[in-house]
Amino acid sequence: MILQVRQLTKEFDGKAVLRGVDLDLAEGQVKVIMGPSGCGKSTLLRCINRLIEPTAGKVLFRGEDVLRAEADVRALRQQIGFVFQQFALYRHLSALDNVTLGLRKLRGMHAREANEKAMHELQRMNMAEHAHKYPAHLSGGQKQRVAIARALAMDPAVLFFDEPTSALDPLMSREVISVINQLYMDNITMLCVTHDMFLAKYIADQVLFLDAGVVRAEGSAEELFSGHSDPRIREFFIHEHHS
Amino acid sequence: MDFFQIVSLLALGAGYTVLVTLACIATGLVSGIAVALLGRLQIGPLAWVLAVYTYVFRGIPVLVLLFIVFFGLPWFGLNFPPLVSMMLSLGLITGAYLAEVFRGALAAVDEYEIMAAEAMGMNRRQVLLSIEMPQMLRFAAPGMLNEFTTVLKYSPFAYTVGIPEIMKQAMALAAITLRGLEIYLAIGLLYFAIYKLMLALLRAVERRFSVPGFNLL
Ligand SMILES: Nc1ncnc2c1ncn2[C@@H]1O[C@H](COP(=O)(O)OP(=O)(O)OP(=O)(O)O)[C@@H](O)[C@H]1O
Ligand SMILES: [Mg+2]
């Protein structure tokens, strides 16, 4: 098991945003988290890598408790590749340097070795020919593919996606879904927050429906998307389908 | 006094003007960057000290601070040579203004880029030096040019502490030749030439560091 989350709770100024979330993620597994806006999806991802400090609960990464005081937070984060809806490319760096930065600063690689590794990851994302462009000169879909290459370059144990296609138009969204699908074929472990049922259907081994800070249902994409017994879930996916 | 003598004296003065200007810009850059970056780390009492520095040094007239440093501090046994006195007055005042320019530039750095760097496993110092500072310097470019120009324009104060820069030479020449109008017109043009030179230099630096997506000078 790569990840075991138990009774994870997060309160912001006394307001409970996560209210006892349980989640397991096995090696090679892909889980998709869906749910209404504001239900705590981003907060959940960020609590796991401690960008946000959880209020209570347990997070085990490869069996190790990462919430204890003496845990090495930065070592944990290097194991988790994070891809944001906003792409978050470093705008003063070329696509290539976006990918090499972590290798150089965190892995201590020399420029040459880092460049080779980064070019390999960009190639994988079909972005090699744009390696020397700056973020301002890349389309949204291209930026997101660089961001994925940047995450992959660190050889993480798991990739987190927080709505990777939500800022993209349908065409660019399609190109990002296709590379994420390729990662799925490569057996990369992923935890993906999305509103995109198309993406979820492609990659989800299991879909987790989060509602007001609790896991309301868990199952395959088919089970959740069509005719679920819970009316709230039925209503959510009918609405998503038409949006 | 022949033409050649006049030109060589003004050239010497121009050399000192450039020296004073560069020394004060360097002081301002070092102190401004240090204050902005340390302020960003929000270390309790230190943040307070830095805030007082930027507040006080932006409020004191350059000439007053220069006189305090050069004529006042010797009373406490602190004797600074003229150039160092300029750096401690004009230089540190420039630093206080630049610190404010940099603070604004740091606020313009995208929070998601910072979060991405933290999510990658970088520590605070790495994020500051690899992401925030390089972007800060680019966002701040127009404001920096402003401050550098101001330093050049305040550099004539150096003559009050005995540095033989352009203004000092000009006053001496005007007294000897009794051709004040021509002399002061000439040094007006000289200052303008130095300004254009400085601009050309900064444009060269800009070309080296410019990145699409940032509007520099
Ligand atoms: N730093 C914070 N301080 C206070 N409240 C916060 C903070 N971050 C998030 N919240 C609140 O927590 C709730 C969950 O936010 P979160 O961003 O996790 O939702 P989400 O499921 O990712 O939503 P979306 O689909 O819109 O991205 C929201 O009500 C939000 O306003
Ligand atoms: Mg979110």
In short, whether A42's Cβ falls inside 6 Å of ligand 1 is yes
Name residues whose C-beta falls within 8 Å of residue B45's C-beta, 6 or more positions apart in sequence.
none
In ligand 1, the atom with minimum distance to the C-alpha of A52 is 1
pLDDT at A241 over 80: no
* Each residue's pLDDT tens digit, B171-192: 999 999 888 899 999 999 999 9
CB of residue A10 inside a 6 A radius of ligand 1: no
- Confidence class of residue B43 from pLDDT cuts 50, 70 and 90? confident
Our answer on whether the CB atom of A12 is closer than 6 Å to any ligand 1 atom is yes
How far does the centroid of ligand 2 lie from the alpha carbon of residue A50, in Å? 16
Read off the pLDDT band of A41 (50, 70, 90). very high
CA of A162 to the centre of ligand 1 (A): 12
Which residues are A214's β-sheet partners?
A211
CB atoms within 10 A of CB A52: 17
Nearest ligand atom owner, CA of A35: 1
The hierarchical CATH code for the domain A72-196 is 3.40.50.300
What's residue A153's pLDDT? 97
In the 8-state DSSP scheme, what is residue B107? H
| Tokens 């600074």 belong to residue | B80
Residue B215 pLDDT greater than 90, yes or no? no
Please tell me the number of Cα atoms within 13 Å of A170 on its side-chain side.
Answer: 3
What average pLDDT is seen over chain B? 94
Residue B108 in tokens: 């313009």
Q: How many CA atoms lie within 13 A of B154 on its CB side?
A: 24
pLDDT > 70 fraction of chain A, expressed in percent and rounded: 99
Mutate which of A18, A43, A191, A215 for ligand 1? The one with the most ligand atoms within 8 Å of its CB, which is: A43
Q: What is the pTM of this model?
A: 0.92
Choice between A239 and B40, residue whose per-residue pLDDT is larger: B40
* For the CA of A12, the nearest atom of ligand 1: 4
CB B26 within 8 A of CB B152: no
Q: Which pLDDT band, with edges at 50, 70 and 90, does A160 fall under?
A: very high
ipTM, 2 dp: 0.94
| pLDDT, tens digit (0-9, with 9 covering 90-100), for A8-37 | 999 999 999 999 999 999 999 999 999 999
| Higher local confidence (pLDDT), A228 or B51 | B51
Q: Which of B109, B120, B128 should we substitute to test contact with A (largest number of A Cβ atoms within 10 Å)?
A: B120
pLDDT digits (tens, 9 = 90+) for A92-148: 999 999 999 999 999 999 999 999 999 999 999 999 999 999 999 999 999 999 999
Does A135 reach chain B within 8 Å, measured CB to CB?
yes
**Domain range summary for chain A, segments of one domain joined by +:** 1-27+43-71, 72-196, 206-243
Q: How confident is the model at residue A243 (pLDDT cuts 50, 70, 90)?
A: low
How much is the average pLDDT of B144-171? 95
Query: Mean pLDDT across the stretch A174-188?
Result: 95
User: What was the pLDDT predicted at A242?
Assistant: 64
| Mutation for testing the B interface, residue in A53, A85, A92 having most B CBs under 10 Å | A92
Per-residue pLDDT band for B216 (boundaries 50, 70, 90) equals low
What is the average pLDDT value for chain A, to the nearest integer? 95
Q: Quick one: pLDDT band at residue B214, thresholds 50, 70, 90?
A: confident
CATH topology of domain B3-209: MetI-like fold (1.10.3720)
| A38 alpha carbon – ligand 2 mean position (Å) | 7
